[in-house]
A = this chain, B = another copy of it.
Amino acid sequence: MTAAEVDDFIFRIFPQIWADDKRSYTIEALTPGGARVRMHYAERHLRPGGTISGPAMMALCDLAMWVVVLGHIGPLEDAVTTNLNINFLRRPAKKDLIGDARLLKLGKRLAVGDVTVYSEGEDAPVAHTSLSYAVPVAK
């Protein structure tokens, strides 16, 4: 699937992802073995201290990994996350976040990858996540 096809598919089955009539996320790239997803900055992502909350970063990582998996296996609705491990590295700025996903394995049953998260325009990552997805059996 192309980035546009993944985008259409996700929008169709998961309309909640676009909050307040605006896109929360944009798929910026989908390549063999990788994807880049941008989470647009929004007030509702904040936590105490004025930084972006952990669950907002986790949601970005989960989505970026889903984009990579869908891009490689096609529009299967029941790919589900089985494990997510996140290390929080630095307090993110009040900016868009970029999630760079890398597919480490695409097996018959499990897909595994990691996502490195950056604040827009900065070099030092704010979070790093490893994820496993149960891959549905194609019919």
Binding site for B on A (CB under 8 A): 13-14, 16, 44, 46-49, 53-56, 58-59, 62, 77-78, 80-90, 104-105, 109-110, 112, 114, 116, 124-125, 128, 130, 132, 134
Contacts and interface: CB of A to CB of B under 8 A. Distances in A.
Contact of A83 (B59, B83, B114): B83
Nearest to A47: B14
Q: Which 6 residue pairs across A and B have the least CB separation, nearest first?
A: A55-B59, A85-B85, A89-B105, A13-B48, A14-B48, A55-B55
B88 A104 contact: no
A101 to B, nearest CB: 13
A109 B89 CA distance: 11
A78 B62 CA distance: 26
A19 to B, nearest CB: 9
Copy number in the complex reads 4
Contact of A88 (B59, B82, B87, B89): B82
Contacts of A104: 87, 89, 116, 125, 128
